[in-house]
Amino acid sequence: MEIQWYPGHMAKAKRELKAILPLLDIIIEVTDARIPKSSRNPDLISLTKNKPRLLLLNKVDLADPVATDQWVNYYRLSGERVIPFNARTGEQLAALEDLINQVGRETLAPKPIWRLGVVGVPNCGKSSVLNRLAGRSAAQVGERPGVTRGRQWVKRGKWEILDTPGMLWPKIGDVETGLKLAWVGTIKPENLDPEELVLNLLGWLQENYPVALQSNYGLTPPEVAGEPYSVLQVIGKRRGCLRRGGEVDLRRTAELIGYDFRQGKLGAITLETTSASHVLP
């Protein structure tokens, strides 16, 4: 399954970020805690490597807490300044604010204003992070990638915070990474075949989180152990995704499962582990 998505506004976002970087003092890189490696844009890391950088594993409420702890330890051992974060509730906001102040004191010359840049891939929660830091709804927030298209500066005390449009890299190197990005909604689902996408997701869940399928869709262990296509059929019947004559509407069923997963209805799930991983340069 080929997954590529690099529309013109992303190339523009990269050019704009390169232009604004000299003005930024601290970079706040926001990732999705469900894919703490795959949601790190290597272009962003390369562009910001000479700036003090904080790494947020956002959406921890949707991720497996055990896996999140492992990723936090992994990145800290790799020298990253990392915090697990929930922009929806503000969990760990005080820790983030303290870390920003600590990094500023340690790395920046005395100045009246510190400029912070919030960066990351689409739909990882950058605008929600900015709103938490600002203490108000200062940036537009949406559940779909591509909501933020222009620069948004927000002032709070001695901070000026810039929210930037989500940015993917031009070519996703492997299918596995592309699938993970698509499953969590970083890549717009309508740009892909929903049935093929969800069949891959079902296969992964059968292997790694079979209980999530059992509990959410009322499947029996033998049903969960079937081929992904048969699991899709069974879920479609159970959820009433039927065409006239009783035939399962596979597309509608796939869209339902994809939505359930992105909203966390299948439980707290992390799609990658720290084993056999590596830190991007």
The structural domains of the chain, ordered by start, are 8-163 (3.40.50.300), 193-262 (1.10.1580.10)
What's the sign of the alpha-carbon dihedral 92, 95, 100, 103? Answer: negative
- CA distance linking residue 2 with residue 210, whole number of Å: 26
Query: 267 labelled as ligand-binding?
Result: no
The answer to whether the annotation marks 188 as part of a ligand binding site is no
Annotated binding-site residue? 128: yes
**Which secondary structure element, helix H or strand E, spans residue 161, and what is its range?**
strand 159-163
pLDDT tens figures, 136-174: 765 543 444 333 445 668 889 999 999 888 888 777 767
Tokens of 138: 């200062």
Q: What is the 3-state secondary structure (H, E, C) of 167-222?
A: CCCCCCCCHHHHHHHHHCCCCCHHHCCHHHHHHHHHHHHHHHCHHHHHHHHCCCHH
pLDDT in tens, 235-255: 999 999 999 999 999 999 999
**Which DSSP helix (H) or strand (E) runs through 100?**
helix 93-107
* 127 among annotated binding-site residues: yes
Question: Could you tell me what percent of the chain has a pLDDT over 70?
Answer: 87
Q: Please indicate, yes or no, whether the overall pTM of this predicted structure exceeds 0.95.
A: no
Sign of the torsion formed by the C-alpha atoms of 60, 61, 62 and 65: positive
Q: Is 59 annotated as a binding residue?
A: yes
